[in-house]
Structure 1
């Protein structure tokens, strides 16, 4: 069933048309991702489709009685209304509390928010999640989302993707999160130069199809062709889950892929980084750290020891509030540890991109702002001018002469990133560098960082960017330690899920298993679970055995993490320890599954 039709729609703000003679439609069950440059017309397109904006020309037709749910970048929430009433409307407590779907939405989006407080007391991110929860609780035939992953951590983004793919509603989503696009979209629309180009499949399919169109047209510049080949090459080398199955034939793209550039030469970059940095970058020795200062706020690190070596490219992940930014501030020297010490290498030349960007002189020109730091910079084996780097990150032509005060938030972030790179650092601490960047700029930044030699520590909820730029993933899991995750983000999500399941079981049945004598019925009859006294005793013995095995494996895991920290500069030893750690984690997963199955049989 056709839900929305656009016929010859045009719209502009000023002389430049954002939409020019666009005709398209959305059918029931469509899941469409919208991509394009910032300011290119994505939000205008979805606003026209949702009926929130009347186009200058053309016609928009909605199916009669169409129910549309819209999440815009702003919100219309009443600041005086309680969060619970805002989200749940007039639903009685027994009505929503008995609905598993509503409980799931509340738990995953508003689990840390008191539903009785007024909306006006919430932070910007909390208001955003409140608006998203209100939308998802409703029933809609078409859901329109503008940047829904903003202010969500990796875990919440993963849940949202699964939730949306499980709904029967049609979906139209604007996002710069490429992993999320791949997870939820079956079609991709690119808004470019006033037109809407349509592709089958999610982001991976879109990249392949766009490369094929560029090859056939033979019109793309040599640099953009090389960048596209590099992106395709990474997609082909990446995790199997990264690859979607496009509906078009991809054989014709082989001519473009045949001369794909090599993968990032990690060993060569590590050697170059070691030459510039020396053996010591950062050593954390028995460090204790609280997020709010000594003894204040959540505990982030508890007597933790870790080493960051030359050439390390590490992604640091964890739930919101776990202390990721605090760890970066600790490394930058902005905050001091409660206990222990941080040893910083003598040759470290640091650049720290924080979420609170330093103020730029609003009266200066963009190019002048960068050239005052340096006019040339060496990235790997290539020398770049300030103007060339500006062009790579979206400041083309006259944009380099714009006044800083006229820049958008995303443009200011790009400019600050460039200023950091132009200072020729050998250690980069990046805290959410992808905020407000469009996909093309993200591609350019990734390509630039591919050839950048040095130690990189990245905090990001953009799973695609994190996996693309980093070689290793380290997590803050709430236990006061930095945990190495050989399996990357997938392992993090699995460990978080298994930890939540174990916590739920413990909360329901007590943290320690009851003794067989205490738990078995004295008369030998079957318990409420349907088990005889003998069967229940055997299962509880099995449960205790599995818990002892889990304790032993956890101990071995901690020892391996410590050994890996000590062997940070010995890559042969590190690979051996990494393989051993993977075996232990796989064994733990199997035992945890057995534990859950046994606990289920006991009714706990």
Structure 2
């Protein structure tokens, strides 16, 4: 094994009245791709700050090869004190070159001239990513890098990291992101750390193996009860078995939903009024919605049945929030109609987490200061209910302001799922959650008797939870696809291939098909993927600008120009994809 470029030996840190962790040995090689895994509160973010040298440890020795440049991408970039995002991105003693920051910002679709004080979480995150990547670090530390990013930006970041020549350590709840990128895993657990030379794709099997080994060791040491209590709280093996059962049930529901699809891709089967299991709760027919000259939805129809779990995906500015507001009755369509069941009673968990005032106690949020909370018609003690959501009961008296972002999100879920409802609206619910809480959330959604509407960029989460995916492309068209994110991607791929096959016979009539590729054919085959990436980045950039709700009012000409640019870029991208697919088939022949 090559000598590491950065190491920490015997690392220990005191937090509160005890050690957060102690005796950690961490070694980072020049090309390591490390996933850092651990529960909320285990100290993952703190550990990254220690590795970066941003805070001092209470014990341990940090060594680093001279000249090694370490960059930390923080979970919540601080832009206070900067006039614009550009000022923020060009800060610091090792500030990157402005043209390099601009190049990455363009590909991420962020306008760095945006005022820092009014920038959204997604805009701040993109500016921070542009700054971090442009610094050309030797070691890159990434704390939840996909939070607040749309799918196109996440995929762009994945491609960048795949080409990156340095080392990185990443904390993320995005299973797809971790599986695609990481080669080794650091598991921070109960104050200690373990390393395995497997990527995140093998982590859960490794974790279960470790649990089984600990249980066997506990039996030998006659301390089984204590260890069992911990692992039952964690629920590793049991949760895996339950998840497998829920996934089988989910596949059955998707198959049923696929059988209902009409010729236009929208469920139109008439159901009996007394069939409560398939009762229609939202019925949208030929809905159109526009803002000025921009059509967000065009002739959209959807029948939502009780028990459906609907995932909504698309780029920034594609109209996800608009569609959500239309379905829930918060917004009226310009044309068409949307009918909702009179008994529909929904709760909304939004990205802002508005209910979590820092001065409140956990008990105040859950039970209005009392000891008991009503859940699905039965009373539960606050302490017992906290355990169900992976909290230590003693946290009941803690102030909300002392909780981590992930713990606040988990507490909000506990509060909202206790309320009686038959419609659940989740807007980016996975932000700030650890992997265990995501498993718990999937279970709760799977057991929820009502209807669920989910806006999310977490591909794995959608694949594990939703029965139908609504894919928005920003032109007003919505794909209605039974299944999850992967099913939607497959549907789009099929459509692109079909377009390419339709275009091929026209050329065949004009002249006999040749099996030999010309110089131009080979050049296009080589260069078109890069051009397609450029067009995707340009579309993402312009869609991010269109996402500003005040743009149409402030500058209608700019709004119209951006809309025209997006349409032109989409048309060129479609043509480029069709040309490349035809050439790829020719090359195979």
Structure 1 residue 349: deviation in Å?
Answer: 2.6
Residue 82 (structure 2) aligns with: 79
1:44 matched to 2:46? The reply is yes
Note the alpha carbon deviations across 1:450-481, whole angstroms, 9 max, x for none.
22222212111122222111133221111313
3-state SS of 1:214 partner:
helix
Q: In the alignment, which of 457, 477, 480 is matched to residue 461 of structure 1?
A: 457
Q: In the alignment, which of 478, 481, 487 is matched to residue 482 of structure 1?
A: 478
Residue 264 (structure 1) aligns with: 249
Indicate the structure whose relative CO is greater, using CA pairs within 8 Å and at least 6 residues apart.
2
3-state SS of 1:305 partner:
strand
1:265-280, aligned counterparts within 5 Å?
Answer: 279-280=279-280
What is the rounded CA distance, in whole Å, between the counterparts of 1:464 and 1:383 in structure 2? 34
Note the alpha carbon deviations across 1:54-84, whole angstroms, 9 max, x for none.
2111110001221222212344667246739
What is the rounded CA distance, in whole Å, between the counterparts of 1:4 and 1:124 in structure 2? 31
Q: In the alignment, which of 370, 377, 399 is matched to residue 375 of structure 2?
A: 377
1:81–1:358: structure 2 CA closer, same or farther, 3 Å change rule? closer
Residue 108 (structure 1) aligns with: 107
Q: In the alignment, which of 228, 236, 239 is matched to residue 237 of structure 2?
A: 228
CA contact (8 A) 1:377 1:385 kept: no
Residue 419 (structure 1) aligns with: 415
What is the rounded CA distance, in whole Å, between the counterparts of 1:494 and 1:420 in structure 2? 34
What is the rounded CA distance, in whole Å, between the counterparts of 1:40 and 1:277 in structure 2? 42
1:408–1:296: structure 2 CA closer, same or farther, 3 Å change rule? farther
3-state SS of 1:304 partner:
strand
CA contact (8 A) 1:9 1:20 kept: yes
Give TM-score scaled by structure 2 length: 0.71
Residue 430 (structure 2) aligns with: 434
Residue 201 (structure 1) aligns with: 198
Note the alpha carbon deviations across 1:472-527, whole angstroms, 9 max, x for none.
32211113132123574345557779999999x9xxxxxx9xx99xxxxxxxxxxx
1:264–1:296: structure 2 CA closer, same or farther, 3 Å change rule? same
Note the alpha carbon deviations across 1:202-234, whole angstroms, 9 max, x for none.
333111111111112223447457553443775
CA contact (8 A) 1:313 1:457 kept: yes
3-state SS of 2:280 partner:
coil
3-state SS of 1:134 partner:
helix
3-state SS of 1:436 partner:
coil
3-state SS of 2:128 partner:
helix
What is the rounded CA distance, in whole Å, between the counterparts of 2:383 and 2:98 in structure 1? 60
Note the alpha carbon deviations across 1:428-463, whole angstroms, 9 max, x for none.
111111122222222222222222222212111122
Structure 1 residue 172: deviation in Å?
Answer: 0.9
Structure 1 residue 9: deviation in Å?
Answer: 1.4
1:49–1:433: structure 2 CA closer, same or farther, 3 Å change rule? same
What is the rounded CA distance, in whole Å, between the counterparts of 2:412 and 2:452 in structure 1? 17
1:223–1:31: structure 2 CA closer, same or farther, 3 Å change rule? same
What is the rounded CA distance, in whole Å, between the counterparts of 1:439 and 1:596 in structure 2? 38
1:61-100, aligned counterparts within 5 Å?
Answer: 61-75=63-77, 79-80=82-83, 83=86, 86=89, 91=97
1:199–1:389: structure 2 CA closer, same or farther, 3 Å change rule? farther
Residue 152 (structure 2) aligns with: 155
1:131 matched to 2:128? The reply is yes
Residue 558 (structure 2) aligns with: none
1:90–1:448: structure 2 CA closer, same or farther, 3 Å change rule? closer
What is the rounded CA distance, in whole Å, between the counterparts of 1:203 and 1:338 in structure 2? 46
1:491-530, aligned counterparts within 5 Å?
Answer: 492=488
What is the rounded CA distance, in whole Å, between the counterparts of 1:9 and 1:409 in structure 2? 25
Structure 1 residue 390: deviation in Å?
Answer: 2.6
What is the rounded CA distance, in whole Å, between the counterparts of 1:75 and 1:369 in structure 2? 27
1:310-389, aligned counterparts within 5 Å?
Answer: 310-359=306-355, 365-371=361-367, 375-378=373-376, 387-389=383-385
Q: In the alignment, which of 53, 56, 76 is matched to residue 54 of structure 1?
A: 56
Structure 1 residue 149: deviation in Å?
Answer: 1.0
1:76–1:331: structure 2 CA closer, same or farther, 3 Å change rule? closer
1:217 matched to 2:214? The reply is yes
1:206–1:352: structure 2 CA closer, same or farther, 3 Å change rule? same
What is the rounded CA distance, in whole Å, between the counterparts of 2:338 and 2:66 in structure 1? 65
Residue 445 (structure 2) aligns with: 449
What is the rounded CA distance, in whole Å, between the counterparts of 2:580 and 2:49 in structure 1? 47
What is the rounded CA distance, in whole Å, between the counterparts of 2:495 and 2:69 in structure 1? 39
Alignment size in residue pairs: 486
Structure 1 residue 106: deviation in Å?
Answer: 3.7
CA contact (8 A) 2:497 2:578 kept: no
What is the rounded CA distance, in whole Å, between the counterparts of 1:83 and 1:8 in structure 2? 39
Residue 596 (structure 1) aligns with: 580
What is the rounded CA distance, in whole Å, between the counterparts of 1:144 and 1:63 in structure 2? 17
Structure 1 residue 319: deviation in Å?
Answer: 0.8
Structure 1 residue 282: deviation in Å?
Answer: 0.2
What is the rounded CA distance, in whole Å, between the counterparts of 1:386 and 1:85 in structure 2? 43
Q: What are structure 1's unaligned runs of at least 5 residues?
A: 238-259, 506-511, 517-528, 533-589
Structure 1 residue 384: deviation in Å?
Answer: 6.6
CA contact (8 A) 2:314 2:471 kept: yes
Q: What are structure 2's unaligned runs of at least 5 residues?
A: 216-226, 257-270, 508-517, 522-573
Note the alpha carbon deviations across 1:316-347, whole angstroms, 9 max, x for none.
11112222122222222222222322100133
